[in-house]
């Protein structure tokens, strides 16, 4: 049985790493602005689809991927500049509706710019499965896990060791104080969006060889990324990663041992249970409410 368990674990970790990247995107933007960016899933989609079409144009894969990440980052920046910044001062719910509108707009554009078919990316280093302890692992899964770890390390370094990263963290703790200290909150928000866009695109490119990509993959991935971010505690980077991995593993184990039809239900029930017991998520801040 342990070979089977290993197979489920591999599947869960791979999916979990992707959810973690998407969840990080949510957390970073949330930290700068309290806004939940429901267009996060579309960043994932654009990353994957852009790479597909750039490949078709003849670019080699690494270049296409880099260009796709750049394109998505630009889209994210545009979203902030043209929409979120303009709505400065609006209520949280209004901002959420704006990002939802953005996700619909982006999906509609995707179906026009590209098409409505499903596309695959070639695996980065081939398709030959690696046998490990009776289970098989795709080389692409190793890429997903490896690159995610590298990205996490880079982000940690950025937020904790660079001045600008620390400035962004300061903004998330106390906006007013950060402004008084001379930090441009607007710029921080812009950078947050850009960063989340890049993260989302990266996730989309990493996973496309395994799960394929299409104009509408953003909806489900956005939902799962959001769930993971909440599970781990909104605004917490480690929380996002933990939430993502836990969600991926729960799904895989539930599908393998309980019922594949109900695996999403089981995952959400667990999330609900965790939230009821720990209302701030696993690693979330126990924020004191101001009167």
Of 116, 290, 135, 72, the C-alpha closest to 215 is 116
- Binding part of the chain for other proteins, among 1-9, 60-68, 144-152, 191-199 by CB under 8 A, reads 1-9
**Which residues in the 229-248 window bind other proteins by CB under 8 A?**
230, 234
- Binding part of the chain for other proteins, among 109-117, 143-151, 155-163, 170-178 by CB under 8 A, reads 109-117
Tell me which of 50, 205, 207, 245 binds other proteins, using CB under 8 A: 207
Of 30, 195, 53, the C-alpha closest to 119 is 53
- Per rule CB under 8 A, is residue 103 in the interface with other proteins? yes
- Per rule CB under 8 A, is residue 21 in the interface with other proteins? no
In contact, 36 and 26? CB cutoff 8 Å: yes
- Per rule CB under 8 A, is residue 118 in the interface with other proteins? yes
CA–CA gap between residue 109 and residue 105 (Å, rounded): 6
**Which residues in the 146-205 window bind other proteins by CB under 8 A?**
none
CA–CA gap between residue 145 and residue 142 (Å, rounded): 5
Tell me which of 83, 142, 155, 185 binds other proteins, using CB under 8 A: 83
Q: Which is nearer to other proteins, 158 or 268 (CB)?
A: 268
Where does residue 277 rank: exposed (0-12), middle (13-18), buried (19+ CB within 10 A)?
exposed
CA–CA gap between residue 224 and residue 59 (Å, rounded): 31
Q: Which is nearer to other proteins, 238 or 256 (CB)?
A: 256
Tell me which of 54, 71, 227, 249 binds other proteins, using CB under 8 A: 227
- Per rule CB under 8 A, is residue 57 in the interface with other proteins? no
Look at the alpha carbons of 144, 147, 150, 155 in this order and tell me if their dihedral is positive or negative. negative
Tell me which of 71, 75, 138, 242 binds other proteins, using CB under 8 A: 138
- Per rule CB under 8 A, is residue 212 in the interface with other proteins? yes
Tell me which of 93, 163, 176, 180 binds other proteins, using CB under 8 A: 93
Q: Which is nearer to other proteins, 88 or 160 (CB)?
A: 88
- Per rule CB under 8 A, is residue 216 in the interface with other proteins? yes
Residue with tokens 């001062």: 89
Helix (H) or strand (E) holding 136: strand 135-137
CA–CA gap between residue 178 and residue 182 (Å, rounded): 7
Q: Which is nearer to other proteins, 36 or 195 (CB)?
A: 36
Look at the alpha carbons of 152, 157, 159, 164 in this order and tell me if their dihedral is positive or negative. negative
**Which residues in the 247-286 window bind other proteins by CB under 8 A?**
252, 255-256, 260-265, 268-269, 271-272, 275-276, 279-281
The pair of structure tokens assigned to 218 is 């953003």
């Amino acid at each position: 049985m342990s070979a089977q368990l290993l197979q489920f674990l591999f599947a869960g970790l791979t999916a979990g790493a992707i959810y973690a990247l998407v969840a990080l995107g949510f957390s970073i933007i949330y930290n700068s602005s309290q806004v939940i960016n429901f267009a996060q899933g579309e960043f994932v989609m654009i990353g994957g689809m852009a790479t597909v079409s750039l490949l078709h144009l003849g670019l080699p894969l690494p270049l296409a991927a880099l260009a796709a990440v750049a394109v998505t980052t630009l889209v994210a920046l545009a979203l902030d500049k043209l929409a979120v910044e303009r709505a400065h001062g609006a209520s949280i719910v209004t901002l959420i509706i704006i990002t939802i509108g953005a996700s619909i707009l982006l999906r509609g554009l995707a179906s026009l710019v590209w098409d409505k078919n499903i596309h695959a990316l070639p695996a980065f280093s081939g398709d030959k499965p690696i046998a490990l302890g009776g289970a098989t692992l795709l080389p692409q899964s190793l890429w997903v896990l490896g690159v995610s770890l590298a990205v996490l390390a880079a982000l940690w370094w950025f937020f904790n060791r660079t001045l600008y990263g620390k400035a962004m963290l300061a903004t998330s703790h106390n906006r007013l104080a950060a402004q008084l200290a001379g930090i441009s909150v607007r710029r921080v928000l812009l950078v947050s969006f850009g960063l989340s866009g890049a993260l989302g695109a990266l996730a989309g490119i990493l996973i496309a060889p395994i799960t394929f990509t299409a104009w509408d993959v953003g909806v489900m991935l956005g939902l799962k990324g959001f769930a993971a971010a909440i599970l781990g505690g909104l605004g917490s980077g480690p929380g996002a990663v933990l939430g993502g991995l836990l969600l991926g593993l729960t799904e895989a184990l539930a599908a393998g041992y309980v019922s594949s039809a109900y695996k999403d239900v089981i995952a959400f029930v667990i999330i609900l249970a965790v939230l009821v017991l720990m209302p701030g998520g696993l690693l979330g801040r126990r924020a004191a409410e101001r009167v």
